Structure 1
């Protein structure tokens, strides 16, 4: 018996269109940040400024996050045709964000330890030189933010707003700029008002900022990696479509998970007292463009 030709029914499972401009700009930001990171950390140690050192360590976490983002972009693109990935390689980018968040937690702990130590064992700070370096660091952060913001809004495509790699890097640069401002304020307070305690206190605040960013990224990327997104708005939208278009049916099983930047896959099982074509359900759900892979099963009451 000849098997039917299924080629016309087959479709690709690559839901990550990539973000070439973001990848290019992120790579540029990595190079700029790496140079400034070395300058700030070296200056912090030589000038005895904990605020400057904290800003440098924060910038190192920024460089780490951007570096992992670039690597994730490249690996996802390289393995895009690998058939071992059931729903494409987008989660490689998410895994990169999760990994950087874990390492950032370590950086935050080191920053906190050094700042507390310096609070109780202060050293003479070279305020003038440290303020110059901190100001240059702020300028670098703003430049990187401009680069990443440009990629974030590439050609106005809405789905790029769901790029976890790019969004995390962009938000981190903004947080890094805030840390630079804190360092400058701390150094100015010590230089002009004699508030030497402000420098290590700002270092502690910088550690808290890194820890908070790491926690946010862990939470965001962890939900995607664990497919824990059944509280996503699209889930309720699916229920609304079924209730409105197929009132004779009840949802017996529903699974929704993310497979790309703002794209979701869905497995939907219905129980209906009358005949409903699965294709009709898929057509009704097509109104939600973020649903890119939908599987529908319809059963009659009492059937297995």
Structure 2
């Protein structure tokens, strides 16, 4: 084996896109949210406004989630080449998205509780000052949402290449999979924007028509909508973290591709996501033919989503009787 260059057989497990735009955007939005939070909290204490204080601390919870999102990008990039991560660090970003969804659920519970409390115990509202802050908060959140929008940047080369256990590398591009970490941050700022819109509508109604009950009612409605968003994000990120991928179309394509070969039956198949659109798989087949694992890997090479393939071939003895 002294003449064999072992490096050509080694595989990179970094399936994250090389671009760092999302990370920079996350840090910028975190800083913007932090400044807005400080202004609201300081103004709340200065003007003795509970509405401003509540909105400020509400913004603080989102700033923590956005900071977590930015930190996840940093950690994933920092340890991208660390061999201790069997399939790279992409799931660090997904884990941050899941944590953000959990935090968003807690925010929903607090928002709904406070809204219901104020619905049955109306508070005196300083409409003019609260309306100005609500408009400023909406503008900040819309700017943050624009910065975090998912641009689906196609064509970026992936940080790792798919060898599929062959000597020749197969370079697969980013097929536009959703960045769950960025999506989680986007939902956080959109949730804040929704509460700002609801607050503006409620404050205008209260100021013009004396409908003080409209403010807490909008809070309840907003919390229900945000809860739906949080549920979707929780399900989507949990599915990736728990490798619940066996109903993905790529799984059936793997099975069909292999069993299309003569005298081949798939007896065991596991597929899991290792990147936004990249999968790894381990498969066992039974055949009477003298077909090697490399032969089956060649057949699977046409499935571009597969970046890591392990094949076990079980040779079934030919029955010569009869």
Shift of 1:6: 4.0
Higher-helix-fraction structure: 1
Shift of 1:250: 1.3
| Structure-2 residue corresponding to 1:123 | 123
Kindly provide the CA deviation profile for residues 155-196 of structure 1, in whole angstroms up to 9, marking residues without a partner as x: 654445421111222233333322221111111111112211
Q: Structure 1 residues 18 and 197, CA, compared in 2 at 3 Å: closer, same or farther?
A: farther
| Structure-1 residue corresponding to 2:68 | 68
| Structure-1 residue corresponding to 2:213 | 197
Q: Does 1:281 align with 2:296?
A: yes
DSSP 3-state at the match of 2:267: strand
DSSP 3-state at the match of 2:274: strand
| Structure-2 residue corresponding to 1:152 | 151
Question: What aligned pairs does 1:18-37 form with structure 2 within 5 A after superposition?
Answer: 18-37=18-37
Structure 2 unaligned regions, length at least 5: 157-173
Task: Supply the distance in 2 between the matched residues of 1:53 and 1:216 (Cα, whole angstroms).
Answer: 29
Kindly provide the CA deviation profile for residues 83-138 of structure 1, in whole angstroms up to 9, marking residues without a partner as x: 21111111111111222222222222222221111111111111122111111111
| Structure-2 residue corresponding to 1:92 | 92
**Aligned partners of 1:127 and 1:191 also within 8 Å:** yes
Task: Supply the distance in 1 between the matched residues of 2:89 and 2:239 (Cα, whole angstroms).
Answer: 17
Question: What aligned pairs does 1:235-274 form with structure 2 within 5 A after superposition?
Answer: 235-244=251-260, 246-274=261-289
Task: Supply the distance in 2 between the matched residues of 1:120 and 1:101 (Cα, whole angstroms).
Answer: 29
DSSP 3-state at the match of 2:230: helix
Return the match for 1:207 from 223, 235, 245. Answer: 223
Return the match for 1:217 from 225, 233, 236. Answer: 233
Return the match for 2:180 from 156, 164, 169. Answer: 164
What is the root-mean-square deviation in Å for CA atoms of aligned residues?
2.7
| TM-score of the pair, normalised by structure 2 | 0.83
| TM-score of the pair, normalised by structure 1 | 0.87
**Aligned partners of 2:100 and 2:184 also within 8 Å:** no
Task: Supply the distance in 2 between the matched residues of 1:188 and 1:22 (Cα, whole angstroms).
Answer: 36
Shift of 1:4: 6.9
